Amino acid sequence: MSEKYDVIIVGLGAMGSAACYHLARRGKKVLGLDRFSPPHTLGSSHGQTRIIREAYFEHPVYVPLVQHAYELWADLERESGRRLFVQTGGLMIGRPEGVVVGGAKQSAVEHRLQHEILSAAEVRRRFPALQPTDDMVAVWEPRAGILFPEACVETHLAHAKRHGADIHVNEAVTRWEADAGTARVVTSRGQFQASRLVLACGSWVTALLPDLSIPLTIERQVLYWFEAKRAPENFHSDRCPIYLWEHEPERFFYGFPDLGEGVKVAGHHEGRVTSPEAIDREIHADETEAMRRIIRKLMPDADGPLRSAVVCMYTNTPDHHFLIDSHPRYPQVLIASPCSGHGFKFSSAIGSVLADLLTEGKTRFELSLFRHRWPVS
């Protein structure tokens, strides 16, 4: 057994890379382990772009956390000199009584966020790539934008190393054990021990928690990049923001301006349940056609040739909120990453919150929505 670390972090995707960075920056002796070499395309943090938005329709409790995430992304940009974020503004579109518009409005009002309510005609006039029907409205929020996930993960890891973290890639954790004050992990190459352990292994997390009956589901998601069929200038980021669209009651898709690779769109919680081992990474004509049917109706100018598509995984809790909690039997073990398909934007803040919990035993952020007391078998 080698020297003892303060914290071992298993999984170096969005959450684990951020946790390594924040803990190393606070002077902790950190070991980060990943079965692959992040950023990679086999988990949940690939595909060039991720939305960040502030008028959070899912629940107002996320707003202070995302505001902290904005600050930390900006800090990381300053420290690294890399561009990680582009502000485009954002539209939450749907029927006025729907969950997206209603929830975004509630968060905006409760947290006094700058926003505007736009009619469908106003959206069509200001953002002609987007053609909502007359029964829809939109919440416009100016601070929304785009994060570049591969660059974010890479930068967190590079700067974690600069602050002294040991980062081991292509080294899977096969099991762990804990007793009073210590946690030990066994990997494909050796054994390590630490005072604290963070399990941030995304869609693989249940494999390392065989004693917990955690009802997580892994959902297959497809990202599509279409070429604009007409008026490509309307998809540029100066005329097209990010958007999240409730196109039918509780059915969602979202998209981005064309940053040079095509118009990126995807369904949200429309995928089949799968597992990281069994996931089908082929793209099928019928699913592309289903995406096109939505585009033809609401963004007809985006209905050009398919340029590319890629498969990704959501790790969903039953209520689609996050899971950030200590292991019910071992308080020195934190479980942090099932983020139900909307966690990337928060990862800088979640890394910092994990560092708060591990170094100070508390955080100023409200996490009760993310605690799940599932039975230990």
Residues of this chain that interact with ligand FAD (CB under 6 A) are 10-16, 33-36, 38, 43-45, 47, 50-51, 172-173, 200-202, 204, 208, 221, 223, 266, 312-314, 337, 339, 341-345
Angle, CA 216 vertex, CA 214 and CA 219 arms, to 5°:
165
Give whichever of 234 and 348 is closer to ligand FAD, judged by the CB atom.
Answer: 348
Q: Least separation, in Å, of the C-beta of 152 and ligand FAD?
A: 9
Question: Does the annotation mark 187 as catalytic?
Answer: no
Catalytic residue among 20, 22, 25, 49: 49
Q: Least separation, in Å, of the C-beta of 301 and ligand FAD?
A: 22
Catalytic residue among 268, 321, 342, 372: 268
Question: Does the annotation mark 46 as catalytic?
Answer: yes
Give whichever of 120 and 214 is closer to ligand FAD, judged by the CB atom.
Answer: 214
Give whichever of 92 and 339 is closer to ligand FAD, judged by the CB atom.
Answer: 339
Catalytic residue among 20, 152, 312, 339: 312
DSSP collapsed to 3 states, the chain: CCCEEEEEEECCCHHHHHHHHHHHHCCCCEEEECCCCCCCCCCCCCCCCEEECCCCCCCCCHHHHHHHHHHHHHHHHHHHCCCCEEECCEEEEECCCCHHHHHHHHHHHHCCCCCEEEEHHHHHHHCCCCCCCCCCEEEEECCCEEECHHHHHHHHHHHHHHCCCEEECCCCEEEEEEECCEEEEEECCCEEEEEEEEECCHHHHHHHCCCECCCCEEEEEEEEEECCCCCHHHHCCCCCCEEEEEEECCEEEEECCCCCCCEEEEEECCCCEECCCCCCCCCCHHHHHHHHHHHHHHCHHHCCCEEEEEEEEEEECCCCCCCEEECCCCCCEEEECCCCCCCHHHHHHHHHHHHHHHHHCCCCCCCHHHCCCCCEC
Q: Least separation, in Å, of the C-beta of 218 and ligand FAD?
A: 10
Question: Does the annotation mark 345 as catalytic?
Answer: yes
Catalytic residue among 264, 321, 327, 372: 264
Give whichever of 87 and 231 is closer to ligand FAD, judged by the CB atom.
Answer: 87
Give whichever of 111 and 124 is closer to ligand FAD, judged by the CB atom.
Answer: 111
Q: Least separation, in Å, of the C-beta of 125 and ligand FAD?
A: 26
Question: Does the annotation mark 264 as catalytic?
Answer: yes
Give whichever of 136 and 185 is closer to ligand FAD, judged by the CB atom.
Answer: 185
Catalytic residue among 25, 35, 156, 345: 345
Position with the least CB separation from ligand FAD: 13
Catalytic residue among 22, 46, 159, 247: 46
Q: Least separation, in Å, of the C-beta of 253 and ligand FAD?
A: 11
Q: Least separation, in Å, of the C-beta of 342 and ligand FAD?
A: 5
Question: Does the annotation mark 288 as catalytic?
Answer: no
Catalytic site positions: 46, 49-50, 264, 268, 312, 345
